[in-house]
Structure 1
């Protein structure tokens, strides 16, 4: 085989005026063709027709170039292969060609072929090519990906003898028999899916290679072609491998996916297959999706994609199993009871006419499936019977009470989470609960929610399933202790199922979802107390998260308000587990050791408040003394005498005994032994043994700009701050504690190194420190909004509270701290929270005289912050 050099321009020595003119005319012709097809696309013409028309136009140009460059009788033939071989061509797709001819002919016409491919490049055709003999095709096709391109070869300039030679070279009798080809393509498909997390519900899905994408449909076509010799999946209907409804569904979803890909190529102006944020809004507008009160146009477009991908995957799974049965044959059934058997590990209904339109039979299937852990999945014919009945499944409001009780039995039975996930994937859950169907494939155009609503719901249920397992999950420190206290675990499952079910309807989704949950529980025969518990959990499912992340949970008033809202230990247990499952199910990166500990702290504080009674909260003085006694006891165990302990306590602010846990106070008090009066102490430790979250403690004489210096140094070291506690100690000292995680590739989690970096920075002139320059990540650029700045008075009127909501970006907190330093303001406390692309931070501030900010100071700070937060400002630029 010879591979010829190509490039975007003709070699000047070989160029002729005729070739130059032809290339210019061909390029212009292609531009006109694409413009016509683009217009027809925007007029909603059939996308398959557009793909065929573009392929036909390119065919004509390539044939003309071939006739110009390759003399008749050269012994060479030209074929379109790959996607182009199928007779379809997307606007920016590559054009794959095969030149077939014996080695002697290849060498004799090497210059002609070089001229051909250079001419095609000059005409604007992105050609990739191979030049092979029939024997070389056999060798190359040992790689199944090469064979895949060749089996769809379409002659462009080839006599029948050349077509027959290629067909013989790639014949199943010579290379890659049908069964081996099927196994290789199935393994390739599984590996490809794994690269995308085995889900199509990614924020920036790949239309071509992602799960449920066009490549899956192509793979089914290649398998059908190699196995049965049919070039169209529709032909499998006549062979009994595909139902009419299945074939119609695949054709319908292929049109959806192909139209998206066609439009994406137009918007991106390059061969882009990933539906990135850069293009989503523009593409949605181009395809006619408009915003309304309930959804953005881009969210509607993406929901259509996710639903199409789900259908493709569902039918693809069934068809792959039928191909497998074609090769391996049907195994003898192994009865497992209730009218079901196992066939090669797949659960199959014994009755070939199952399920007879009876939803009770469907629920019996899921009950049997839950009972037998080794089931590989549904048998293809049983899955097909289920699919054919989908549209006949009534919602729970239109069935008898005994049917609803069967559903509740599934929730109370073994592996309930797996059962709900299966029902959702197969489309049953959306029919049973129509509100769930409305959020199927529904996405939110932000970086906080990385899953569609239905996929997020299943992730939440999966986390609840982890809590139920006997083995403790190290990510959730106390969940396995709380779980056994639940009276009825199925109530938590129902709360997880309904907590986001009303998203996209307008209004408060928590209130609307609570109404849905209340109706569902009532219809399913739950007691009034159980019904109200589920509805309350749905309505309040965000409250614990918001309280923990946005309020000071060391403040007794905050704890008292939260405990009053919860009311009972029973509700607290359910709400804690639902909150953990919800946060961890929102994004793989959102849950961390810091959030785990934060929620656990709030849980224990609220539980204590409930135990002590909400009418008589413990006075702060008693809380301080209780904390001192606990810390003293632990320090004695470490061998420290009371005289040393008393000296350490005297150097620590009283407020720290309210704000910190005893083990933190022991760590701080023991650390202070190392320094002399007036010295600076920097200590860093890991929050949990297996976590990358770190706790940073800084004790130092106070001075202007100290908070900003610490924040900017942490930012330069590659650490993001999740929480900051800033306290004033005796003798004008500071007790600052930061909880941080690595966010930069250069942050290695080395505690000793971070201590050294901070010590060095604080030992120098902190006034010369500046925020580092950072590049804005691509994704964040597409989620800009106007910053919001709000000033409030603290409860004791001694401080000014600054609430800041702004688009997140690298170095944001360092820039804000720099502004606060320039304004000569002191940070008395800080709460840092990031939700996807949104930073929601709160600072308690005083001026240089330790007083709240005046109105003029507030206005000056507002102006400086707005200049800092200007969306188009380059991070790190001078203020």
Structure 2
């Protein structure tokens, strides 16, 4: 975008010296000098890259200098090749007017922004017709470039062809827009530039802007449609380099600017915004250069395994509560956020300029949309604007007010007003933060009934949110370095508020039926909105963010205007916001002690209702696919059991009612096969009826009935289970020790991952085990061949037709992004969570066959597994087992517990897997 002055250029490459050496080689070897010339230039290219890498190491954030240096290096190589080919290989002493050639850099090369392994995008321009001499020179230059190992994107066109193709193709038009003269016939290049602007650009400005914005939106959608995805694409992701390029392209297309700095002169950016533009661009260019140097290839995605390395190269260090990589990524997202702010203001200005041009033409000449006044603000065309330049300086509370009015009235904020808010956000100091009116306005915005998510995001973009709530400012752009969270903390929080608003408006009834009803039964809607805002507010502080967040809530809630009761509720919700999901996903909900302990912490129906809603939006806001009906069902079961216990004060009567109600639902599911229920009714325990959904119970009953008719000792059934986005695997067999780990091993051998397991034993000694499984990409199996493979693998494992351990060891671990994370393996024993069982929770790095190895360790430790609950948090698995010894007793001996812990840690360890694979 801007030509960067490259210091000490000859240390990168000395074109004059190399030109002299090429001339010497040609004199000495004539036509046989080609290989020597290639060797000489390849050496110069390598030396130049090495020098630029050294400079980047010394100044790791000097993105403009590094990318400009790469372009300079290629420029000199191209110039040397042109001179060598036209002078020594295909000399033409007296060229005709047609034997002219101009070399133009286009694309990123044209902007003089090249990463070490970027493509070299070159356009060869010729006059009206292509002569044999031009074709020979172009071909020879391309072969030289290819022999040097460069990836070349090239085109060869006459001026007429260039104009015609640019009119037809948006990509070509954009590439030419960034055209930069490199070498050759300067007059020809100037003529091409003149014709491009006169014949292609003129009159097509509005169409170009529309096309580029459509292209940008499509790109964002491909990349995740958020600038806060935790593995961002530095080039093409939202808030990345391509968004900055889009601003420049549009500005250049409309106003014919030569550099980004010229956008100030045409009023599209202020000086301060341009400095932000350059700062964000320089940082992202540096990151991209580091990515290319680390990987040795074109790599623009900042993946987990590369983030640590780039953070280290850019001299980020650990701080209390925040690792170097988290600090680096927070800085990255701050830059991406700034790009988003610039984009919004810039495009709104472009829109205004086009509107003014339209108004000056034709029937509507002289007509402007009538504005109205709203609470002192000017409103026109659906946008709210501050009436004067010093509007916020007169009363800084207006910095909150303007966003609150925008949300309440469904208005956009004028770009000039967004600029003013950004500029004046520093006026928000302690007196404004304590101002009752400012806090009342903020609370009205937070719990707004139109679109609080969108307006809070604008408020965040303008820097007002973090200034008014400094605790929120601390988590602004803060990344959570794991594979579970898809967004930064601030983006996750704002999305959660948006989900809460949509639930309240009844827009998510299908996915969240309970929460949709409950939100209209809670005592304080503003308390739940504040709880969602604050639930992750203390992340990155080096302690338990739930406890620290509750302390923040006790200070902030009174400031916001919440009363004592609301403050106590919000503080409890923040402290306990992980309680419901941990209980639902890691504990046996059919065990009365689970419900008793959970209710003991919740203590009231009001807390329970609020916690259910908070848990739902928190999980769903983590990222795409984290919420599913299986999680919804588990949370619903826990809610119903807890509500019953809180309402009745006991659960026994309720338990019988729940079993009876479940049987009625199963009868409906069975349809014409209703008689099967009475035949098998007494065979299943109450815990089975409560634990399994009615559709699974109906399937199990039919499967058991068919197996008994056929006198089968083993029945395996697999089917795609659309309601859970997984494959249901049901195994019915005579119960015996080791059954569980063998089934798990068979499933793993078939290439499937177990995401949930429910293990039951009937009163007559049959095991009825239900597993939900997915492929390694998180998708269900549904093809007949896949389902048959799973059934066969389980059958082989249970019949001892295969040796599980050696076969599983032969299956190599996939190259996983989880290797980038440190996962502390832990085993936690809890003898208080259940009256009958010892509860064992194993936290370990997730990988295929983990459940099999853990289950085998439990079997070899002579334990009986009564139920298992599998939870994955990205790279980390938390598997919980309810176990007894062979006599049905809890395990209490410290020595025995220590032995079991060692066996489980050994089974979970990376070293153990490596040893098995090498055996």
TM-score by length of 2: 0.85
Q: Provide the C-alpha distance between the structure 1 equivalents of 2:119 and 2:673, rounded to a whole number of angstroms.
A: 78
Secondary structure in 1 aligned to 2:121?
A: strand
Return the offset for 1:269.
1.7
Q: Does 1:509 align with 2:545?
A: yes
Secondary structure in 2 aligned to 1:359?
A: coil
Identify the match of residue 400 of structure 2 among 363, 371, 377.
363
Identify the match of residue 810 of structure 1 among 848, 858, 873.
848
Q: Does 1:186 align with 2:213?
A: yes
CA contact (8 A) 2:735 2:766 kept: yes
CA contact (8 A) 2:449 2:501 kept: no
CA contact (8 A) 1:395 1:433 kept: no
Q: Does 1:55 align with 2:81?
A: no
Structure 1 residues 816 and 366, CA, compared in 2 at 3 Å: closer, same or farther? same
CA contact (8 A) 1:295 1:504 kept: yes
Return the offset for 1:641.
12
Alignment of 1:483-498 (within 5 A): 483-498=519-534
Q: Does 1:127 align with 2:159?
A: no
Structure 1 residues 707 and 354, CA, compared in 2 at 3 Å: closer, same or farther? same
Structure 1 residues 213 and 872, CA, compared in 2 at 3 Å: closer, same or farther? farther
Secondary structure in 2 aligned to 1:62?
A: helix
Moved more, 213-222 or 50-59: 50-59
Tell me the equivalent position of 2:495. Answer: 459
Return the offset for 1:358.
2.4
CA contact (8 A) 2:644 2:654 kept: no
Tell me the equivalent position of 1:279. Answer: 306
Q: Provide the C-alpha distance between the structure 2 equivalents of 1:605 and 1:852, rounded to a whole number of angstroms.
A: 25
Output one character per residue of 1:202-255: Cα deviation in whole Å (capped at 9) or x when no partner: 121111111111122222222222222221222232333322221222122222
Tell me the equivalent position of 2:82. Answer: 66
Structure 1 residues 195 and 472, CA, compared in 2 at 3 Å: closer, same or farther? closer
Output one character per residue of 1:814-835: Cα deviation in whole Å (capped at 9) or x when no partner: 4444555677764322121111
Structure 1 residues 388 and 642, CA, compared in 2 at 3 Å: closer, same or farther? closer
Structure 1 residues 336 and 480, CA, compared in 2 at 3 Å: closer, same or farther? farther
Return the offset for 1:581.
0.8
Tell me the equivalent position of 1:91. Answer: 116
Structure 1 residues 734 and 86, CA, compared in 2 at 3 Å: closer, same or farther? closer
Return the offset for 1:673.
4.4
Secondary structure in 2 aligned to 1:355?
A: helix
Identify the match of residue 700 of structure 1 among 704, 723, 733.
733
Return the offset for 1:121.
3.0
Structure 1 residues 710 and 197, CA, compared in 2 at 3 Å: closer, same or farther? same
Tell me the equivalent position of 2:409. Answer: 372
CA contact (8 A) 2:326 2:480 kept: yes
Identify the match of residue 36 of structure 1 among 44, 51, 71.
51
CA contact (8 A) 1:486 1:573 kept: yes
Identify the match of residue 439 of structure 2 among 374, 395, 404.
404
Output one character per residue of 1:471-526: Cα deviation in whole Å (capped at 9) or x when no partner: 44322231112111011211111001011111111112112211211111112332
Identify the match of residue 572 of structure 1 among 601, 608, 612.
608
Alignment of 1:421-460 (within 5 A): 421-460=457-496
Q: Provide the C-alpha distance between the structure 1 equivalents of 2:671 and 2:186, rounded to a whole number of angstroms.
A: 94
Moved more, 836-845 or 324-333: 324-333
Q: Provide the C-alpha distance between the structure 2 equivalents of 1:515 and 1:713, rounded to a whole number of angstroms.
A: 49
Identify the match of residue 189 of structure 2 among 134, 153, 163.
163
Secondary structure in 2 aligned to 1:721?
A: strand
Number of matched pairs: 858
Structure 1 residues 733 and 515, CA, compared in 2 at 3 Å: closer, same or farther? same
Return the offset for 1:877.
4.3
Return the offset for 1:739.
4.0
Q: Of Structure 1 and Structure 2, which has the larger fraction of its residues in helix?
A: 2
Tell me the equivalent position of 2:504. Answer: 468
Output one character per residue of 1:17-58: Cα deviation in whole Å (capped at 9) or x when no partner: 423222222222222222222222222274323333332233
Q: Does 1:266 align with 2:293?
A: yes
Return the offset for 1:864.
7.8
Output one character per residue of 1:711-743: Cα deviation in whole Å (capped at 9) or x when no partner: 234445565433323233234322323344565
Q: Does 1:151 align with 2:177?
A: yes
Tell me the equivalent position of 1:585. Answer: 621
Q: Provide the C-alpha distance between the structure 2 equivalents of 1:796 and 1:188, rounded to a whole number of angstroms.
A: 57
Output one character per residue of 1:388-442: Cα deviation in whole Å (capped at 9) or x when no partner: 2122223576443222222223334432444333322332211110111111110
Moved more, 154-163 or 796-805: 796-805
Moved more, 175-184 or 156-165: 175-184
Identify the match of residue 238 of structure 1 among 246, 262, 265.
265
Identify the match of residue 766 of structure 2 among 733, 739, 764.
733
Q: Provide the C-alpha distance between the structure 2 equivalents of 1:674 and 1:396, rounded to a whole number of angstroms.
A: 75
Return the offset for 1:538.
0.8
Tell me the equivalent position of 2:375. Answer: 338
Output one character per residue of 1:162-201: Cα deviation in whole Å (capped at 9) or x when no partner: 1222113312444563333223222222222222232111
Structure 1 residues 681 and 62, CA, compared in 2 at 3 Å: closer, same or farther? closer
Secondary structure in 2 aligned to 1:20?
A: helix
Secondary structure in 1 aligned to 2:760?
A: strand
Moved more, 496-505 or 788-797: 788-797
Q: Provide the C-alpha distance between the structure 2 equivalents of 1:527 and 1:470, rounded to a whole number of angstroms.
A: 28
Q: Does 1:289 align with 2:329?
A: no
Q: Provide the C-alpha distance between the structure 2 equivalents of 1:558 and 1:608, rounded to a whole number of angstroms.
A: 14
Q: Provide the C-alpha distance between the structure 1 equivalents of 2:407 and 2:675, rounded to a whole number of angstroms.
A: 63
CA contact (8 A) 1:200 1:309 kept: yes
Alignment of 1:519-598 (within 5 A): 519-598=555-634
CA contact (8 A) 2:401 2:438 kept: no
CA contact (8 A) 2:392 2:421 kept: yes
Q: Provide the C-alpha distance between the structure 2 equivalents of 1:182 and 1:634, rounded to a whole number of angstroms.
A: 57
Return the offset for 1:661.
6.6
Output one character per residue of 1:670-694: Cα deviation in whole Å (capped at 9) or x when no partner: 664444386445566787x744245
Aligned Cα RMSD in Å? 3.5
Return the offset for 1:347.
3.1
Q: Provide the C-alpha distance between the structure 2 equivalents of 1:550 and 1:514, rounded to a whole number of angstroms.
A: 24
Structure 1 residues 686 and 155, CA, compared in 2 at 3 Å: closer, same or farther? closer
TM-score by length of 1: 0.89
Return the offset for 1:605.
0.9
CA contact (8 A) 1:695 1:739 kept: yes
Output one character per residue of 1:113-158: Cα deviation in whole Å (capped at 9) or x when no partner: 3222222333344333222111121122121211222223222223
Secondary structure in 1 aligned to 2:800?
A: helix
Moved more, 188-197 or 590-599: 188-197
Alignment of 1:611-760 (within 5 A): 611-613=647-649, 617-618=650-651, 625-626=656-657, 629-630=660-661, 648-653=680-685, 655-656=687-688, 659=691, 668=700, 672-676=704-708, 679=712, 680-682=714-716, 690-693=723-726, 696-716=729-749, 719-741=752-774, 747-749=780-782, 754=787, 758=791
Structure 1 residues 68 and 724, CA, compared in 2 at 3 Å: closer, same or farther? same
Q: Provide the C-alpha distance between the structure 2 equivalents of 1:639 and 1:128, rounded to a whole number of angstroms.
A: 65
Tell me the equivalent position of 1:301. Answer: 328
Tell me the equivalent position of 2:352. Answer: 325
Moved more, 139-148 or 721-730: 721-730
Structure 1 residues 359 and 686, CA, compared in 2 at 3 Å: closer, same or farther? farther
Structure 1 residues 875 and 180, CA, compared in 2 at 3 Å: closer, same or farther? farther
Q: Does 1:385 align with 2:401?
A: no
Tell me the equivalent position of 1:394. Answer: 429
Return the offset for 1:461.
1.0
